[in-house]
Chain A
């Protein structure tokens, strides 16, 4: 080891590392052991002292209770029992009396023996009044009274009182008793005779010697132990027994209660128990335990000097200390040994390293020399390091040579790449340039030179603002450096050398090349792209125009031509259209061609060599004429063209999707010119748009034509439906007219006045017929579309008759028409057709079952949501609408049918054309209304038509104005739904002598027949009736009476009518309208 002992070294660290924890640990455990042991030892000693104190109290208590037991026994002794009354009695005579002396003498022996045996100081007999009537010692107390006498405050008096009052034995505590001039304690007990009489009290004076002997027994208290007994009286504690270290203490040593010494005896005499480690009255540290003795009314303290009590502890402490020192020394020795052992190899290593540093590079360790693994590894590591340094030295030299070669190769590659980049810039299509911070052009590539049409020399060294339009220069403000243009692609206006302004895309970046700030920029000519975009926008606008049916074709074509011209201002566009025959070209649009030129060409006949357009229209192929002057196709027209300065004309035929030529699109130029790829594209595109526009307009025209045809066809169809009904109805009317007329004719001969009624009926019926005709005419009305403001409710009212005859007889029509409806602007005949169609469809939906069709009108508010749910959503405005609703209780429609119901030629009927509902839709659309459909399968269908409210009031439409001899017998039942028929028939029958019964339909008929069957000879029955038709009614009647005679009367012809009753026993048939004669003949024929 080198260096001083205190210098930090490995050895010192090792020593500290071993010694400090060991010493700390030893000290800590030593302290802990000592602490625990001393605590345990003290608590053990205190427990021992407490036990001793308890035992001491126990011993004193036992001593006193023993005495009490003795005196109790004594009180029962026959000598005492016998002598006490005698002595009491004789004492009254005087203590010197003979009687007393005799009695006293007789017991003296007994009591003396008792006293000596038990070592009492004195014995007293006391009468009930407190007189001491007997005493062994005859001290001053004898013959005094304990209640009143001089000793009434003594212990003897206390125990006497206790015995006599409470009939209990007791003891007093030790205190100085003056008659005896020493400490004394008394015990006393009542003397009760066997007869249960209280005779007096017997008392004993205890000897202090015996008590002190018990107190002074110091067994187990060693050399320093002491017992202290003290009694508290007033504010002081008086010791009542001698102390080990103060034999004169009894009744001499007094401790004040509030004193700060002798805590144990103070506490104990006050009635507390306890234990503790404290200083006693001598100022010596002691361990003490204390208790209170109630019988003695005193505290007892047992104490022992701490030094003695804890002597063993001191021994243990010494041993622990020696043990610690030994451990410390041992730790030092071990630590030093190991530190030497560990540090020695490091010394050797240091020597070798020093040698190496001095230049002995061949110095090496012998790894086998050291036994410790770490040191041996370190030696090997040293060797490896030395070897490694030698190798590294050599490697470095060869590395330098390699680097030189590498540098050369790198130079070559840099050159190559620079060339590469230069070529990219040179051949780029975009202009590339660099600027300095002020905007001066530093470099420029050929594309840039070409784009701006300057020479390179003209631009280098100039400011970049030279190339920007005034507007861009101001807007983008080059002045403050690159400003807003930096780091983004912006669109600016460039200026070419000759002053042409064009759009360029400019991108600009700030670069730092070799600490110099440079701006690098790229420009791209986007003028072409811009034009293109404009054209696309135009194209979209044109598409919108095409979609608008209200804009005429010519206007659209003109817009197309203008858009093309805008794209290329050098050209003049022209569109010529093919006429209907496909032989001539007529004017389409040519806004900028001279009007005279266009007029000259109007109606030109197409042919194989008729200029560009005529030829193109003829062949269907594009015709490109680059120079009109020299082209043979233009031989006939070139003068005309040249006259207006037109030098070139390219024409492209416009064709529809079926490749039919619709016209041509021509581009004229004022200079001879061949089209480029861009020109051809533009031409084709323009042609496509024009083709679209022309085709669409043609299609619109066709659709309008179709629609009017469709409506016409539909009207015809519904007329067909009407015709059947009308024929039937007309027949009914005619029946009435004929019948009444015949009756009038017959009556006229006899009584002209009686014909009045018949004639009136004829007139009424005729008026009805006329009305029907009028309605029919109005309906078929060849109606022009005449829009007037009208009241929907009154309009429905006008055609009620038509509606009723159009529907099945088993269907009931109900009207819910709102009065005072706002007017709608509509064509009356078209709306009538709508209602007709809906009602007929409703009737068909009910088919031959019974059902109800309701027609309602009213006003409602329709919001957007409601309008969206209609079948016609032409963006109608929200608001109030007049509605017409037709609903039926028929079969309803499934979803699929609902979707198709408005399509033309869709039908569910066997004989339908499928045009009714599409016509309805067309009409409603024409009135700017909406139609809503609700349908539920099996429940029925409702169509609701909404019409916009007119601002005009309804025009007042006048309400539409609305007719021998056989003697039969018996009753005839007339079953017919027409009241006039029933009335007329019964009139005719009564005239013939028949009685008549009427029923308004089949069901009613069956009921009436059932009631009046016996009287009824014949039934005259209509065929079509609501609720129950003729056929069913007939079957029912046959069920009641198989012989029933039924004459069928119908407006249909006989074959048709009776075919349904074939072979069923129909009595006869009579065609409506019938005359009374015809009826009479039929009845005669059947009834005979």
Chain B
């Protein structure tokens, strides 16, 4: 008897530990400031993924605990908070950033600590950090196919408008080169300070120049002002088509009740209107958690996919160590709501499809064009040289006194 009891006790002792501390992850986005309107929904999608994984039993037998941190729409704050998350909160990974300016600051931190950032947004490219998994599209997966489509379907005379920070600048720099190669003309190019409402001069200029298509890389709530000014000037989507690269369902949702948005175009890798089993399940789960009136957009889906891929890699590696996961994640792929996505091991970017959507009255996009299959990410497009790109970026940064965005007036900076 005694021997049996000793045996049972030993068995128990040898069993793997059941009860462990949760795996902590950082969720770093702007909850205040001009970017909050865009970034808060991304936080929601990130937390949805975490909740779903926890509900299904967690990860390696442990729960995931999200530490949500406010970047306050300030790149410097993003850098500081990322360092705090890694050093003080001991997170296993960070999910966050929207603007390239904030990503570039966080990039320095995660590289310093050999850590891991999941970045959910499409961006300008020219970057491939071993410590960042880029969930969004680079220009060759979004802008270039969309510009080609616009040139083919809307016309060759192009007007460029964007917010004055690194992504729109670089995107337009690339578009200029592409349009040149594919026989179009750039009739005008303008940049607005992040968060500005002062768009009248630009709209007047557009009215005068009469472009075939306007390529819009405005970010944040200036979009509302821009489209409002167009409507004020009587410039309809039909006659003045706009192709936006940073305006998804979430942004439209806040505008559609005030403005007629029907007929405008946007280029993304994901639209809520995608018809697939995975997407329907995803939308249902999101609406159940946050309400029927909420909509999903590309960065939200990318953020959700990021968490899922990370979790898959952690399972595969049997550890949450950022250093190990950044290796094991390299060959992960999954059936995401947007379709099959895979991590490109050479660039840490995602293979994604490219889509062009046309806005319907209900704020959803009708997909008017889709690439046949996922496009390989090319952070450094082959038709521009790395050297030229680097020189252009350096010039930009110097022009902004070492930052990655034009200096904003204080009152806009702190809404």
Question: Which chain A residues have a beta carbon within 8 Å of chain B's beta carbons?
Answer: 21-22, 24-25, 28-29, 32, 36, 47, 50, 53-54, 57-58, 61, 65, 72, 158, 162, 165-170, 189-190, 192, 196-198, 270-273, 291-295, 297
Name A47's closest neighbour in chain B (CB-CB): B318
Q: Complex: how many Å from CA A293 to CA B374?
A: 11
Q: Complex: how many Å from CA A36 to CA B14?
A: 9
Q: Complex: how many Å from CA A53 to CA B333?
A: 13
Q: Which residues of A contact B182 (CB under 8 A)?
A: 167, 198
Contact of A273 among B7, B180, B316, B351 (CB under 8 A): B316
Q: Which residues of A contact B40 (CB under 8 A)?
A: none
Question: Which chain B residues have a beta carbon within 8 Å of chain A's beta carbons?
Answer: 1-4, 6-7, 10-11, 14, 140, 144-145, 148, 177-178, 180-182, 312, 316, 318, 328, 330-335, 340-342, 344-346, 351, 372-376, 378, 381-383
The answer to whether B1 touches A166, judged by C-beta atoms less than 8 angstroms apart, is no
The answer to whether A168 touches B340, judged by C-beta atoms less than 8 angstroms apart, is no
Name B333's closest neighbour in chain A (CB-CB): A292
Q: Which residues of B contact A291 (CB under 8 A)?
A: 331, 333
The answer to whether B375 touches A25, judged by C-beta atoms less than 8 angstroms apart, is no
Q: Complex: how many Å from CA A47 to CA B318?
A: 10
Shortest CB-to-CB span from A793 to chain B, Å, is 93
Top 9 closest pairs, chain A to chain B, by CB: A271-B340, A294-B342, A294-B351, A292-B333, A21-B3, A167-B383, A198-B181, A25-B3, A54-B331
With contact pairs A21-B4, A271-B333, A292-B342 given, residues A166 and B375 touching in the complex (Cβ less than 8 Å): yes
Q: Complex: how many Å from CA A271 to CA B350?
A: 13
Q: Which residues of A contact B178 (CB under 8 A)?
A: 167
With contact pairs A65-B346, A292-B333 given, residues A24 and B382 touching in the complex (Cβ less than 8 Å): no
Q: Complex: how many Å from CA A58 to CA B318?
A: 21
- Would you list 6 pairs from A and B whose C-beta atoms are within 8 A, ordered by A residue? A22-B3, A53-B331, A168-B378, A168-B381, A273-B333, A292-B342
With contact pairs A21-B3, A165-B145, A273-B312 given, residues A57 and B331 touching in the complex (Cβ less than 8 Å): yes
The answer to whether A270 touches B340, judged by C-beta atoms less than 8 angstroms apart, is yes
Q: Which residues of A contact B316 (CB under 8 A)?
A: 50, 273
The answer to whether A294 touches B4, judged by C-beta atoms less than 8 angstroms apart, is no
With contact pairs A25-B4, A165-B145, A168-B378 given, residues A61 and B383 touching in the complex (Cβ less than 8 Å): no
The answer to whether B342 touches A196, judged by C-beta atoms less than 8 angstroms apart, is no
Shortest CB-to-CB span from A145 to chain B, Å, is 18
Shortest CB-to-CB span from B181 to chain A, Å, is 5
Name A36's closest neighbour in chain B (CB-CB): B14
Shortest CB-to-CB span from B31 to chain A, Å, is 34
Q: Which residues of B contact A272 (CB under 8 A)?
A: 333-335
Instruction: Find the residue from A166, A196, A197 having the highest chain B CB count within 10 A.
Output: A166
The answer to whether A295 touches B376, judged by C-beta atoms less than 8 angstroms apart, is yes
The answer to whether B145 touches A166, judged by C-beta atoms less than 8 angstroms apart, is yes
Q: Complex: how many Å from CA A462 to CA B140?
A: 138
With contact pairs A158-B372, A189-B382, A273-B333 given, residues A166 and B7 touching in the complex (Cβ less than 8 Å): no
With contact pairs A22-B3, A58-B345, A168-B382 given, residues A294 and B332 touching in the complex (Cβ less than 8 Å): no
With contact pairs A21-B1, A165-B145, A291-B331 given, residues A271 and B342 touching in the complex (Cβ less than 8 Å): yes
Contact of A24 among B3, B148, B341, B374 (CB under 8 A): B3
Contact of B144 among A21, A25, A166, A192 (CB under 8 A): A166
Name B313's closest neighbour in chain A (CB-CB): A273
The answer to whether B181 touches A294, judged by C-beta atoms less than 8 angstroms apart, is no
The answer to whether B177 touches A196, judged by C-beta atoms less than 8 angstroms apart, is yes
The answer to whether B181 touches A271, judged by C-beta atoms less than 8 angstroms apart, is no
Name A61's closest neighbour in chain B (CB-CB): B345
The answer to whether A294 touches B3, judged by C-beta atoms less than 8 angstroms apart, is no
Instruction: Find the residue from B312, B331, B372, B375 having the highest chain A CB count within 10 A.
Output: B331
The answer to whether A169 touches B382, judged by C-beta atoms less than 8 angstroms apart, is yes
Q: Complex: how many Å from CA A168 to CA B141?
A: 10
Q: Which residues of B contact A29 (CB under 8 A)?
A: 7, 10
The answer to whether B374 touches A294, judged by C-beta atoms less than 8 angstroms apart, is yes
Q: Complex: how many Å from CA A50 to CA B328?
A: 10
Shortest CB-to-CB span from B339 to chain A, Å, is 8
Q: Complex: how many Å from CA A190 to CA B382?
A: 9
Q: Complex: how many Å from CA A28 to CA B14?
A: 13
Q: Complex: how many Å from CA A596 to CA B188?
A: 165
Contact of A166 among B148, B335, B346 (CB under 8 A): B148
The answer to whether A166 touches B340, judged by C-beta atoms less than 8 angstroms apart, is no
Shortest CB-to-CB span from A824 to chain B, Å, is 94
Shortest CB-to-CB span from B354 to chain A, Å, is 8
The answer to whether B14 touches A190, judged by C-beta atoms less than 8 angstroms apart, is no
Name A193's closest neighbour in chain B (CB-CB): B181
Q: Complex: how many Å from CA A798 to CA B335?
A: 126
The answer to whether B331 touches A58, judged by C-beta atoms less than 8 angstroms apart, is yes
- Apart from A29-B7, A58-B345, what 16 extra A-B contacts exist at CB < 8 Å? A24-B3, A25-B4, A25-B6, A28-B7, A29-B10, A36-B14, A47-B318, A58-B330, A166-B145, A168-B378, A271-B335, A271-B341, A272-B334, A272-B335, A273-B333, A294-B342
Q: Which residues of B contact A166 (CB under 8 A)?
A: 140, 144-145, 148, 375
Q: Complex: how many Å from CA A61 to CA B344?
A: 9
Q: Complex: how many Å from CA A293 to CA B330?
A: 11
Q: Which residues of B contact A169 (CB under 8 A)?
A: 382
The answer to whether B140 touches A294, judged by C-beta atoms less than 8 angstroms apart, is no
Q: Complex: how many Å from CA A717 to CA B177?
A: 144
Q: Complex: how many Å from CA A158 to CA B340?
A: 19
Instruction: Find the residue from A29, A72, A295 having the highest chain B CB count within 10 A.
Output: A295
Q: Which residues of A contact B374 (CB under 8 A)?
A: 294
The answer to whether B333 touches A167, judged by C-beta atoms less than 8 angstroms apart, is no
The answer to whether A72 touches B382, judged by C-beta atoms less than 8 angstroms apart, is yes
Name B374's closest neighbour in chain A (CB-CB): A294
Q: Which residues of B contact A57 (CB under 8 A)?
A: 331
Shortest CB-to-CB span from B128 to chain A, Å, is 13
Instruction: Find the residue from A192, A271, A293 having the highest chain B CB count within 10 A.
Output: A271
Instruction: Find the residue from A28, A169, A197, A292 having the highest chain B CB count within 10 A.
Output: A292
Shortest CB-to-CB span from B333 to chain A, Å, is 4
Contact of B334 among A168, A190, A192, A271 (CB under 8 A): A271
Shortest CB-to-CB span from A185 to chain B, Å, is 14
Shortest CB-to-CB span from A472 to chain B, Å, is 80
Q: Complex: how many Å from CA A36 to CA B1?
A: 24
Q: Which residues of B contact A189 (CB under 8 A)?
A: 382
The answer to whether B340 touches A25, judged by C-beta atoms less than 8 angstroms apart, is no
Q: Complex: how many Å from CA A345 to CA B275?
A: 90
Q: Complex: how many Å from CA A47 to CA B177?
A: 46
Instruction: Find the residue from A47, A167, A169, A291 having the highest chain B CB count within 10 A.
Output: A167
The answer to whether A167 touches B340, judged by C-beta atoms less than 8 angstroms apart, is no
Contact of B382 among A47, A61, A167 (CB under 8 A): A167
Shortest CB-to-CB span from A529 to chain B, Å, is 81
Q: Which residues of A contact B342 (CB under 8 A)?
A: 271, 292-294
Shortest CB-to-CB span from B238 to chain A, Å, is 26
Q: Complex: how many Å from CA A58 to CA B144?
A: 28
The answer to whether B345 touches A297, judged by C-beta atoms less than 8 angstroms apart, is no
Shortest CB-to-CB span from A511 to chain B, Å, is 63
The answer to whether A192 touches B181, judged by C-beta atoms less than 8 angstroms apart, is yes
The answer to whether A170 touches B3, judged by C-beta atoms less than 8 angstroms apart, is no
Q: Which residues of A contact B328 (CB under 8 A)?
A: 54
Shortest CB-to-CB span from A557 to chain B, Å, is 103
Q: Which residues of A contact B1 (CB under 8 A)?
A: 21
Q: Which residues of A contact B318 (CB under 8 A)?
A: 47
Q: Which residues of A contact B11 (CB under 8 A)?
A: 28, 32
Shortest CB-to-CB span from A61 to chain B, Å, is 7
Q: Complex: how many Å from CA A197 to CA B182?
A: 9
Q: Complex: how many Å from CA A54 to CA B330?
A: 9
The answer to whether A165 touches B148, judged by C-beta atoms less than 8 angstroms apart, is yes
The answer to whether A196 touches B180, judged by C-beta atoms less than 8 angstroms apart, is yes
With contact pairs A24-B4, A168-B140, A192-B383 given, residues A292 and B177 touching in the complex (Cβ less than 8 Å): no
Q: Complex: how many Å from CA A270 to CA B333?
A: 10
Instruction: Find the residue from B7, B351, B382 having the highest chain A CB count within 10 A.
Output: B382
Shortest CB-to-CB span from B248 to chain A, Å, is 22
Q: Which residues of B contact A24 (CB under 8 A)?
A: 3-4, 7
The answer to whether A197 touches B181, judged by C-beta atoms less than 8 angstroms apart, is yes
Shortest CB-to-CB span from B153 to chain A, Å, is 12
